[in-house]
Each structure stands twice: as C-alpha cells, then as structure tokens.
Chains A and B, each alone.
Chain A
Amino acid sequence: MPAVITSVGAVTGHGIGCAKLFAALLRGETAIRSVSRFPVDGLCSTVAAEAPADADLEAASSRLHRGPSQDRATRLLLAAAAEALEGRELEPSPRRGVIVGTTKGAFERLGRRTGADDLLGAPARALAAAAHARGPTLGISAACTSGAAALGEGLALIEDAVCDEVVVGGTEALHAFVYRGFHTLRALSPRPAMPFDAARSGLSLGEGAAVLVIETIAHARRHGRRPIGVLEGYGASSDAHDQVAPEPGGRGLLAASRTALGNAGVTANDIDGYHAHGTGTVQNDRMEATVFARLFSGRKVTASAIKGSLGHTLGAAGALDALVCTLMLRAGTVPPVTNLRTLDPQAYVPAAIGGPKPLTGNRILVASAGFGGVNAALVLRAAAGSA
C-alpha cells in the first residue's frame, strides 16, 4: 500500500525551508564553502555545506517546542519539522509514529560515563514530543542510507496498519569528528564535490535535515490534506563486499532497486527519473552508472543528484533526496547537477548539465548507498494534479 506525502520541511546549507533549497538547486548553486564551525588546518579539504546557526534554527522551531534543544542534529530536525508540521492540528495520537534516520544523532552529548544516553534515538524522541506522537518512535541508523531507511520503515508501519501517519525525518550535524574521519579516509575533495564529472576529486560533507509526513490516503482525505507526492516502494540490501568501497558491479544497489520497484508494483520501464546517491567519488559514480545502465537498458531516464549543491549529509541524505524528488515531481522539473560540467565517460548518466530540464513522466527511483555496503532505494510518484 503506498503512502501519500502531505507535507515536507528542510534545512540545508541553503538555509531554512524548501523554497530556498529548490530555488538554489534550480540555479545550480552550491552551499559548499569554507568551513567556519571548527578548525580544518592540515586536512585534505577545507570546505563543507554548513546549515544556519543554532540561534536561527531555534528561532525557526520555536513555535513547535519549548526550550532549547541539547544537540545540533535535533535543532536541525526540529527546524525542518516546523515547516513540515505548520498548520497541522497535532492532537496526541497513538496512530502517529516518528522515525528519524541519523548516523551520529546527538553526538556532542557523548560522554565518558557508562550508561547510555541513547544518542541515536534522541532526535526522534524530541520530534515525537513536538509532534505529539504516541505511536512507534525510533531512531534508525543505516550509514548513509539512514534517511531512506527511515522512509522505508515509515512506509512499513503504514502498510502494516500500525500507523495512520508517520513523521519521517533524517538529520545530521557536521562534526569535526566526522570531518577528520573522512579526512583519514582521503575521501574529501579540496573543492566542492562534482558528482559524475570527469574532473571530480572526492566528496564534500554537508549537514541538514528533512522531514516528510507520510500517511494513508484515507487519513489525508479525512483531514483535508492534499498529497504532494506518493511514496510507493522501498528496498534495501547489503553488498557483502567491503566496509568502505561499493561493489563495483552495483549488485547490491541493483537488488535494492528491484526490491523497491517490486514493492511499488512497477518495473524499471515505469521509471522516468533516477535520483543518484551521487557522492562525487569515482567508486560511487561508476558503480551507479553501471546500475543505471543495467536497470534502464538504454531508455531515456533523466538523472539527478544534489550533493554538489548540499554536500553529503550522511544520515539525512536519503530523506533530503526524497524531499527534493517530491519537489521535482511537483514542479515537473529536474534541477541541474551542481558543479557537473563534463560527464565522466566511465560514469555516464544522462544528467541535466548547466540548467534545469523538464521531467517527462511522473515516477522517480531514488538511490542511496553507504559504508558497510548498505544500499536502499525508494520509488516516488507525483501526486495527481502535479505539474
């Protein structure tokens, strides 16, 4: 059973709100700039996409909750949630769940004392309190597919009739810890990431949050909410190949994609757009190009990717990807891949270069992949009446 997406909210390096985000994507702008929040001397990169300051995030979410949040990932999440939940009547309900994908959660609260603080579950608990959710509440972590996994788990709660609506989020704060870790892996690009470009030199990190409210169509109708998109299917898999590098043939991502298509009750022939994980690393881009070729067998399917604009937001990435695709389906427009100028012939995907392209059709496959060889895919469809 599909779930309808009835509202969305975002915080990214482009600021607070979906309108700013989508406008920047259409213009091909990047939010990846010099890092200001911690020292990066001596590291292989000095750039990242930083979201607005804590005070701005707190101000944006002040109508949703009382008191300051204790960590930046929660601040990002609640600022995004304030947009997604604006105008909703939020009576406490056991049929409203909350699932939030993240890889580090409330990391800055990490202490040396034993006894757990449940740092990975903290953002979900804060969102559940703000959304008066009395249904299942959990943090989910699946490396860089965490945001997509949150949506997949939310869809499952609706399919299994556990919930009528699920507030799904992905959130990740940019920490010096993580930045230095990616430096040790030599994965960071010294300049803003250039997914699928022949001159790419690695990924850029970013931070942000996305919140999507998904619900049954009947529940949406009862509350007079108009769908802005449809979440039709989800699939996930493991490469069982390497902790860091993807399996070059893309077997795992292909399996996840086929599972998502099957879950949605469609085939690759029904897909009109492919939204890439698109980190801007050689291994990822070439793996995805292989998957693209095997999935679509020469069909004209428009490819998109946003990490040249937002950086890689890790646990938030899958949710932000799905949110942007919802906006693309609503607008009927595919933004250009920011920083892509010359396609790598060994990582060829038919991406929009230089400017937006019209989206012909109404269904997008959204791909995610991550450390540990995890893969996830979502199938999104335009709501009836979209452009």
Chain B
Amino acid sequence: MTSEVGVTSWAIWNAGGVSINEAPVSGTGAGLGFWSERPPSTPGARGRSLPASASALVQLAQQVLAARRVGFLPELPSVIGVRLGTMNGSRENDLAFLQSLAERGESLGSPSLFVHTLSTAPLADVTLALGCRGAISTVSNGEASGLLAVALGAGALAAGRSAACLCGAMDVCGSESDVIALFLLEQARSDIAVPRLSGWELTFEATRPPSAGSLRSSMERLVLALSGNEGGPVSASSATGESVRLSVVPAGRSAGFGERVADLERG
C-alpha cells in the first residue's frame, strides 16, 4: 500500500444481532429476520422480492452509508464498489432452486431465484437499491475470505484504482456462523479522525496449524479493532494455509510506513 485507507463506517450482522459502527442496534437478535425495526429495503428488480440474505445485505449497506462519518470527505464518491468475501457463496439459493426444480418440474424453476444462485447477485441488489456504479465481486479463500476482500479493497484504494468500496463478508447458510459485515473504505485524510487500515499482507504457510478461526470471527475481530483504542493487526487464515493480516490504526492516530511494517512484523 502506498497510503492509508480510511474506514468511515461499518456494520456487522451476526448471531448476536446488528451493530453499526460502535453501537449495537436495539431490537435485533439472532438470525437475519430478527431485526424487528429494520428499515425497509428497496424491492428487487421489477418488483421481485429478494431472498432474505440479499434483503439483509441491502439493508445493512443502506445503514452503513447513512452512518458514514459526517465531514470525512465533502461528498461520498458516486462510484462505490462492493467486494465481499464468502465461503458459502449462494449455497442457500442453490439448494432452494434445486428444491424448486424437484417440486415444480425440471423446466419450471423460478427465474428470480435462479438469478440469485450467483454469489454476486446480492451485491448487485445493493447497486440497484443504492445506485452504486463501482465494480462488484466476491472473493473466496476459505476462512480468510472476509479479510482478503477488505485487503484487496484497501489495496485498490491505496493504488488509486477505486475511490470508495464497501468491503467485508457475506456468508449465510442458516447456521450460527452466519455473518454479513460491511466496511466503507475511502481515501484517508490526515485532518479527519477515523480508523484506518495502514497495511495488508497476504502470505502462505504450508505447515501452519489448522485454521484458528472462522470467517465470522475474523470480521468480529476487525470490528473490535476499529471500534477500540488499540488497533493493531487483525489476521485470518484458511485451512489450506493462506493468511491475511491487516494493520488497523485507531481513530486519531497515524502511522508512518515504518511503523506499519513493524506492526505487521510484530503480528
């Protein structure tokens, strides 16, 4: 990275409920359907209803953009990308579409459900609902997928290939490990106090022990690092040996390049 990247707002939806920036949202509990006062989402294209996970992602994206730190930049860039890590991809919708073929006949599947058998379909729903015109993609690298998406997003911003990006993870399969996490990344400005990502590293260790954490826990650790006063490295590893480490600088503190490297090396 050639510069720091600001994290101007974030949100996470996990088994514990919903949190936006540092604050838990009241009325939320386990599962995607338990946000009792959740804001209405934009309907799917041509008025189709969205699968629950896609609807949840759209709603969380709306909240992250609304919770952006006022004054960080004069205006949010109009071209916002969406890049999310996933292990399960569209598994839930794949199974639902297979079920619909079995029940209705091999030639009578639901077209709108089929469209959501792409892992990027919920991300496209975000672009449709919010008018984002940046690139969208999902990336998959085992348990490290979420941090990988954030690291690649940070790298694109730092190199000037992107102006703003919603990065994070979407991994939903109806289990305790379900998570949707979004981090709004923008170019950092020295005069605005927001947490920053100051370094990222992708490595491979063939002999490393089995994965120490889930995709969900890596997102929770990143939220903690952004919300607290300590910052420091946040890392995740896949079961096959790939590791991602991010260096988080808390709001109000800046890190020089040497400090970033040392931070990563201390890891």
- Give A contacts to B, CB under 8 Å: 39, 42-43, 92, 94, 97, 103-105, 107, 110, 112, 114-121, 124-125, 133-143, 146, 149, 153, 156, 159-160, 162, 177, 180-185, 236-244, 252, 255-256, 263, 371-374, 376
Contacts and interface: CB of A to CB of B under 8 A. Distances in A.
Nearest to A121: B140
Contact of B204 (A137, A142, A143, A149): A137
B52 interface: no
9 contacts: A120-B140, A121-B238, A136-B202, A137-B240, A142-B135, A156-B155, A160-B159, A184-B111, A240-B130
Interface stretch (B66-74, B120-128, B229-237, B258-266): B120-128
Contacts of A118: 87, 140-142, 145, 238
B114 to A, nearest CB: 4
A110 B91 contact: yes
A236 B155 CA distance: 16
B134 A371 contact: no
B131 interface: yes
A143 B87 contact: no
Nearest to A372: B124
B188 interface: no
A184 B109 contact: yes
Given A156-B161, A162-B202, A243 B134 contact: no
Contacts of A243: 44-45, 112, 115, 121, 124-125, 128
Contacts of B56: none
B117 interface: yes
B91 to A, nearest CB: 7
Interface centre among A104, A115, A372, by most B CB within 10 Å? A372
Contacts of B45: 242-244
Interface string B138-151: 11111001001000
A300 to B, nearest CB: 31
Interface centre among B89, B131, B148, B174, by most A CB within 10 Å? B89
B133 A255 contact: yes
A242 B115 CA distance: 11
B86 A137 contact: no
Given A243-B45, A374-B120, A139 B136 contact: no
A138 B147 CA distance: 12
B203 interface: yes
A2 to B, nearest CB: 14
B152 interface: yes
B145 A121 contact: yes
A120 B89 contact: yes
Interface stretch (B20-28, B94-102, B246-254): B94-102
A141 B204 contact: no
B183 to A, nearest CB: 18
Given A181-B117, A240-B128, A116 B91 contact: yes
B4 interface: no
A250 to B, nearest CB: 13
A114 B106 contact: no
B156 interface: yes
Contact of A143 (B44, B118, B131): B118
Contacts of B121: 243, 371-372
A77 B111 CA distance: 29
Interface centre among B82, B118, B206, by most A CB within 10 Å? B118
A116 B135 contact: no
B135 A237 contact: yes
A116 B239 CA distance: 11
Closest 5 A-B residue pairs measured CB to CB?
A372-B124, A236-B135, A116-B87, A121-B140, A181-B114
B204 A94 contact: yes
A116 B138 contact: no
Given A43-B107, A143-B124, A243-B128, 15 more contacts: A114-B177, A116-B91, A118-B142, A121-B87, A134-B204, A135-B204, A137-B242, A138-B242, A160-B155, A162-B202, A177-B101, A181-B109, A238-B136, A372-B120, A373-B128
Interface string B147-187: 01000100110010100000000010111010000000000
B206 to A, nearest CB: 7
A114 B173 contact: yes
B128 to A, nearest CB: 6
A125 B114 contact: no
A184 B108 contact: yes
Given A114-B173, A136-B202, A141 B137 contact: yes
A138 B139 contact: yes
A158 B221 CA distance: 29
Given A137-B141, A177-B94, A240-B131, A116 B202 contact: no
